[in-house]
Amino acid sequence: MRRLAVWAVTAMFALAVYLLLTLWSGAWGLWSLSELIAGVVMALIVGLVAGNLLWERGGWRMLMPHRWVLLLVFSAGPLLWAMARANVDVAWRVITGKIRPGIVRFDPALKTELARTILANAITLTPGTLTVDVHELSGAFYVHWINVTDERPTPEQVCGALPAWARRIAE
Amino acid sequence: MSIELPFAVAAAVLAGFMLISVLRLGIGPTAADRAVALDTVNTLVVTTMVLLGAGLRQVVLVDVAIVYALLSFVSTLYIARFLEGGWR
Amino acid sequence: MNIVIYILLAVGAVFNGLGALALIRFPDVYTRIHGATKCTTFGSIFSITAVVVHGFLRGGGEGGTLAVHALFALVFLLITNPTGSHALARGAYRGGIKPAQAVVDQLEKDRR
């Protein structure tokens, strides 16, 4: 039963992507019949192959639409602003050559794989930090920090409000 | 064939940055340096292809860029596995 | 409206160039990954957004296809770029490359 649900949901996602990519293939900005048939067949195959790879246990909570809205708000607001600051920061360090690097550890206490992935990618894109490794059992992050101010930092010192956003989106 | 000039110029500028990255690909002291330079070149290639798709009015170039982005991601993951110290 | 496209293209080119410059200037692998990933990702956002705006302004089947497909390329780039650099950093560390000029290396202490 679970396998069937996984198959159906993954196939629906694949079909949505396919339909967006083949928009305007028919008349009046819509799809032609042959495109639709090919898309359904391919989406079913993709769902069969990729379904069990993509869905972890408890991944169903991402089907709630408000989490996608939160992800969009997070990407367009705090993440974009942090990326802008990160680029100015890198420009400053490229010109002056002032760095004080090191690898530090902190524990953001995230449980699901998706939340950890979102936090790791966000950390890589925000000022002065780069995720090097994640301990899978304890969930501790090892982060290459370009300007070390504290050798045993709290999560807030390294990446501010990002763990709270990751928890809000995916847990 | 008509050309949208601003996009073509931007694509040419990005091609110049690609050459700078290729410099690091050549001189990088370790294999990891070369892999990072290759990853940067891949990103620049994807962006340049999208710009050329607009500049030369060929939408198919954008489709090629999408496929190139995904394939280069897979190849980066394979190189990273190799950097860890062989195939396990 | 053309002026918006010009500004987006210029900003994108500047940040992409900063990424290439960081690749040359920084002293070791990890700092190079910092510069290259952040700057090329941020620059690509602006460059590809210029194409999306251009596509929507041109309109019709061709312009709409251009905009939607460019948006897809941007989304895939945003997902795969930090993930790939994360994998490279992890691979480089496990391959035995230590961070240069490091004041602290907690991962080294914990692996021992």
- Per the CB < 8 A criterion, the answer to whether C4 and B4 are in contact is no
B75 touches chain C (CB under 8 A): no
pLDDT digits (tens, 9 = 90+) for C22-36: 899 888 889 999 889
pLDDT digits (tens, 9 = 90+) for B1-48: 578 888 999 999 999 999 999 999 999 788 899 999 999 999 999 999
pLDDT given for residue B88 in this prediction: 45
Residue B88 lies in a domain: no
Residue B16 lies in a domain: yes
pLDDT digits (tens, 9 = 90+) for A122-135: 999 888 889 998 88
Residue B38 lies in a domain: yes
Among candidates B23, B35, B85 on the partner chain, residue whose Cβ is nearest the Cβ of C24: B23
Neighbours, chain A (3 or more CB pairs < 8 A): C
Token pair in block for residue B48: 């340049």
Among candidates C76, C88, C96 on the partner chain, residue whose Cβ is nearest the Cβ of B36: C88
pTM across the whole model: 0.90
- Per the CB < 8 A criterion, the answer to whether B25 and B34 are in contact is yes
Of C37, C76, A116, nearest to B63 by C-alpha is C76
Residue B48 lies in a domain: yes
Token pair in block for residue B57: 């009015």
Query: What total number of domains does chain A contain?
Result: 2
A20 touches chain C (CB under 8 A): yes
In this structure, the answer to whether residues A67 and A47 fall within a common structural domain is no
Query: Is it the case that residue B66 has pLDDT exceeding 70?
Result: yes
Could you say which of A29, A55, A81 is where a domain stops? A55
Query: What total number of domains does chain B contain?
Result: 1
Please state the rounded mean pLDDT for residues A30-53. 89
Which residues constitute the domain of residue A69? 63-170
Q: ipTM score of the complex?
A: 0.90
Which residues constitute the domain of residue B9? 5-83
In this structure, the answer to whether residues A97 and A162 fall within a common structural domain is yes
Radius of gyration of chain A (CA): 21
C98 touches chain B (CB under 8 A): no
A103 touches chain C (CB under 8 A): yes
> Measured between CA atoms, how close is B4 to chain C, in angstroms?
10
Distance CA A106, CA A154 (A): 6
